[in-house]
A and B are shown apart, each in its own frame.
Chain A
Amino acid sequence: MKNGICPYPGLRPFTEEESIFFKGRDLHIRQIVKLLEQNKMAFITGASGDGKSSMVYAGVVPYIRAGFSKAEFNSWLVFDFKPQRNPLASLARSAADELQFSYHDTLNKMRRGFSALVNIYKESEFYIKNGSDAKNRGKNLLIIADQFEEVFTMNENFHDGTPSIDAYTCVNILLETVRLSITENLPIYVIFTMRSDYISQCTVFKDLPEFIAYSQFFVPQLKRTEIRQVIEQPALLAGGSVSTRLTEVLINNLNSGFDQLPVLQHALNLLWKTADNGSKTLDLLHLAKIAGIHKDMLDNSERKEFDRWFATVPYYQKKYFDKPDLNNVLNAHAGTLFESAYDYFMHNANWAEKSITPDESKQIVETAFKTLTKIDNNRQVRNRATLHEITGIINKPNITEATVCGVLNIFRDENNTLLRPFAMHDNIETQYLSGDTILDVTHEALIRNWRLLSHWDHEELENLNEYNDFSSQMQRWIDNNRSPEFLLSTGNYAIFKQWYDRCRPNQYWLLKHDNSQRPVREKLNAAASRMEKCNDFMQQSNAAILAAEQSRRRKIAATIVALLIFIAGLLMFSLWAMSEKRNADLARKDAEKQKNAAIVQKTIAEQLNDIATQQQHRAEAANTIANQQRDSARLMYNQAIAAKLESDRARQQAEQARREADLARKNAEDNYLLAQQQRDSADLQRRKALEANDNAARLYYVALCNALSMKAKNQYEDKTLNLRLAKTACDMNHKGGGDNKKNADLYDAMLFAMEQNNIISPIDIQDSPVKSFAIDPAGHIVAISEDGLITKLRITPSGGAEPMSSPTPLGSADNKTPIESAVFITPTLVASSSKDRRSYLTDIATNTQAQIPGADDYIYAASSSPDGDRCAIAYINGRVIVMPTDITNANAAPLAETIFTSKVTDLYFHDDANIYVLCLDGNLLKWNFKTNSITNVLTPNSRQMTFKMAAIPAKKLLAVCYSDGTMQFVKLDNDQKANRIVGGHSKLENLIYDPNTGILALSSADKRISLINTNDVNEKPLVIEEHSLDNHKVKCMGFNNKGVLFALTDDNKLRLWDTDPGTYADALASMNLSPLSDSEWNHYLGREFSKK
Chain B
Amino acid sequence: MFINLYNRKFTIFLAAVSDDMKDIRQELAEVLVNAGIGIADGKSLPSAQAKAAIQAADCSVHILGDEDIYTLGAIGYNSPAGEQFRIARKLCSEQFKMFVWCPYADTAARKSYINNIRRDIVENTVYSDKPSSIIFVEDIRNIMNVKQSENRRHVPTDIFFLYNELDNDTASGICNMLRDFLGVQKLGISMSSDVDYNAFISEQLADSKVGIVYFNYAGDWAVSFARQIWKDTGGSSSQTPLAVFGNSDHATQDDLAVLKDFMECNVDDQLRIPLDIKVFLDKQLQK
Contacts and interface: CB of A to CB of B under 8 A. Distances in A.
Interface of A: 1-2, 5, 17, 19-23, 30-31, 62-63, 65-75, 135-136, 223-225, 236-239, 244-245, 248-249, 252, 284, 296-299, 928, 931-935
A22 B227 CA distance: 11
A75 B220 contact: yes
Interface stretch (B70-78, B82-90, B177-185, B276-284): B70-78
A284 B117 CA distance: 13
Nearest to B189: A67
A70 B128 CA distance: 41
Interface in B39-88: 72-75, 77-78
Contacts of B129: 252
A453 B159 CA distance: 56
A252 B127 contact: yes
B137 to A, nearest CB: 12
B120 interface: yes
Contacts of A62: 224, 227-228
24 contacts: A1-B261, A19-B228, A20-B231, A63-B228, A65-B224, A65-B228, A66-B224, A67-B190, A67-B221, A68-B197, A70-B192, A71-B192, A136-B166, A225-B146, A236-B234, A237-B230, A239-B237, A245-B118, A245-B119, A248-B126, A297-B115, A931-B73, A932-B77, A933-B72
B37 to A, nearest CB: 16
A37 to B, nearest CB: 10
B5 interface: no
Contacts of B38: none
A66 B142 contact: no
Contacts of A248: 118, 121, 125-127
Contacts of B193: 70
Contacts of B225: 65-67
B96 interface: no
Given A17-B258, A935-B73, A296 B237 contact: no
A944 B228 CA distance: 53
Interface string B241-281: 00000000000000000100110000000000000000000
Given A65-B221, A66-B221, A933-B72, A1 B198 contact: no
A910 B113 CA distance: 30
Contact of B191 (A1, A21, A74, A299): A74
A932 B69 CA distance: 13
Interface of B: 2, 72-75, 77-78, 111-112, 115, 118-123, 125-130, 139, 142-143, 146, 164, 166, 189-194, 197-198, 217-218, 220-221, 224-225, 227-231, 234-237, 258, 261-262
B112 A19 contact: no
A131 to B, nearest CB: 14
A298 B116 CA distance: 8
The majority secondary structure among interface residues of chain B is mixed
Contacts of B143: 224-225
B119 A68 contact: no
A238 B236 contact: yes
Given A67-B189, A245-B118, 10 more contacts: A1-B235, A19-B228, A22-B231, A31-B2, A67-B190, A67-B197, A67-B221, A75-B220, A236-B234, A244-B122
A244 B225 CA distance: 31
Nearest to B190: A67
B261 to A, nearest CB: 4
B236 A1 contact: yes
* Top 4 closest pairs, chain A to chain B, by CB: A237-B235, A65-B224, A933-B73, A239-B236
A70 B146 contact: no
A245 B236 contact: no
A236 B231 contact: no
A477 B96 CA distance: 79
Nearest to A302: B119
Contacts of B122: 244
B111 A296 contact: yes
A72 B237 CA distance: 35
Given A1-B235, A236-B237, A299-B119, A931 B126 contact: no
Contacts of A2: 261-262
Contact of A70 (B77, B142, B191): B191
Contacts of A934: 72-73
A464 to B, nearest CB: 40
A224 B236 contact: no
A70 B194 contact: yes
B164 A67 contact: yes
A646 to B, nearest CB: 97
Contacts of A69: 191
A432 to B, nearest CB: 27
Residue picked from B74, B142, B217, B221, most chain A C-beta under 10 Å: B221
Contacts of A70: 191-194
Contacts of A17: 258
Contacts of A71: 191-192
B119 A224 contact: no
A934 to B, nearest CB: 7
Contacts of B228: 19, 62-63, 65-66, 68
Nearest to B197: A68
A149 to B, nearest CB: 23
A62 B129 CA distance: 37
Contacts of B119: 245, 284, 297-299
Contacts of B128: 252
Contact of B234 (A65, A75, A237, A299): A237
Contacts of A63: 228
Contacts of A5: 261
A19 B166 contact: no
B235 A20 contact: yes
B221 A244 contact: no
B218 A236 contact: no
A245 B217 contact: no
Given A136-B217, A933-B74, A19 B227 contact: yes
A299 B115 CA distance: 9
B154 to A, nearest CB: 18
B170 to A, nearest CB: 13
Residue picked from B72, B130, B237, most chain A C-beta under 10 Å: B237
A487 B237 CA distance: 75
Contact of A20 (B111, B126, B262): B262
A376 B189 CA distance: 49
B33 to A, nearest CB: 21
A28 to B, nearest CB: 9
Contacts of A22: 231
Contacts of B166: 74, 135-136
Nearest to A240: B236
Contacts of A21: 231, 235
Contacts of A65: 220-221, 224-225, 228
